[in-house]
Amino acid sequence: MFEVRDLRFKNILNIDKAVFNKPTVCLIGPSGCGKSTLLRMLNKMEEPDSGAVFYNELDIRSISAVNLRREVTMLPQTPIVYEGNVRDNLLIGHKLQHRELPSDDKLEEALEQMYLKLKLDQDTARLSGGEKQRLCLARVILLDSPVYLLDEPSAALDPHNEKRILDQIVRWIHDQNKQLIMVTHAVELAQTYAEQLIKMDGGKIE
Ligand SMILES: Nc1ncnc2c1ncn2[C@@H]1O[C@H](COP(=O)(O)OP(=O)(O)OP(=O)(O)O)[C@@H](O)[C@H]1O
Ligand SMILES: [Mg+2]
């Protein structure tokens, strides 16, 4: 659960107070209104000029970025696929966090969850944009974090895949008692999924 108070950042964000306390929170609003900036602030990727962000009532300035990101996993708007094969890409998060590596069975399960028919030894260079996006989603799902910040996770997907992938993620978040804060342009889907729908415009929350 997050709360922000008196958050100011350049002329980009100006939020007096917002509480993100539902299992599924969707952030919507026009391009350039500050959605990604706000999401980055929740993960200490960006620091406000003034004001504060609280994670489970703790000011995140008192939590190291490493410790915060162990619990709060962010998938940026432009997800990164690394050179190498599918397995390397799925394991990179665990390697960076020096965690025990999941088995191939687990990796295949995560691919299936994202409806990806890829071989673990397959090179990632020729994957389509939508496949890359789903591969990055599979990677973050494997981290099994309590909180997820997903920035337009379905932007590269066709409507059919967008719906089934978001359905799958939202179901998983509920089943596993996690929290999801998601920026999305899929307003109609957001209205069906979100227990809390936050509309932003011009750096403010409406
Ligand atoms: N660190 C920064 N310094 C200066 N300007 C920035 C910084 N980060 C973002 N901006 C600007 O702030 C505005 C909001 O950017 P942001 O990426 O948060 O928008 P967004 O709502 O996510 O848009 P989109 O839907 O297109 O992804 C944009 O005009 C952007 O150029
Ligand atoms: Mg954005």
- Residues 83, 147: Cα–Cα separation, whole Å: 27
- Residues 13, 204: Cα–Cα separation, whole Å: 6
- Residues 177, 200: Cα–Cα separation, whole Å: 26
* Mean pLDDT, the chain, whole residue set: 96
The gap from C-alpha 61 to its chain's centroid, in whole angstroms, comes to: 21
- Residues 80, 75: Cα–Cα separation, whole Å: 9
pTM as predicted: 0.96
Q: Which helix (H) or strand (E) holds 133?
A: helix 129-142
Region for 98 from its dihedrals, namely left if φ exceeds 0, alpha if ψ lies in -120 to 50, beta otherwise? left
Spacing, Cα 82 to ligand 2 middle (Å): 21
Mean pLDDT of 147-161: 96
pLDDT(176) > 90: yes
Spacing, Cα 184 to ligand 1 middle (Å): 15
Residue range 190-200, pLDDT digits in tens = 999 999 999 99
Residue range 84-117, pLDDT digits in tens = 999 999 999 999 999 999 999 999 999 999 999 9
Which ligand is the nearest neighbour of the Cα of 11? 1
- Residues 164, 86: Cα–Cα separation, whole Å: 21
Maximal C-alpha separation, the chain:
49
Give me the CATH topology for the region 2-205: Rossmann fold (3.40.50)
Residue range 35-48, pLDDT digits in tens = 999 999 999 999 99
pLDDT(175) > 90: yes
